[in-house]
Amino acid sequence: MNLRLDDDRAEALKAQADLEGRSMHAIVLRAVDDYLVRNAREAMVRDTAIGQAAKWRELMDRLK
């Protein structure tokens, strides 16, 4: 896989990497990991909400 950044993003990433004393690669990997964890958590919450809504639908309809 190749990651192509425009000049502004590449410069900002390099500056951040220099500031943190880390590689650009390490920062990108961390960003990808954070993205994957966040989306997995959101999917779990969404699936749980859908399941609970279905489970309690009849009761909620009666309480209207």
For residue 56, what pLDDT is reported?
Answer: 92
For residue 47, what pLDDT is reported?
Answer: 87
Residues of the chain short of pLDDT 50, as ranges, are none
For residue 59, what pLDDT is reported?
Answer: 86
Domain boundaries, the chain: 7-63
Residue length, the chain?
Answer: 64
pTM score of the predicted model: 0.65
For residue 58, what pLDDT is reported?
Answer: 87
CA distance 52 to 61: 14
For residue 60, what pLDDT is reported?
Answer: 84
CA distances from 34 to 11, 24, 25, 29, 54 (A): 21, 15, 14, 9, 30
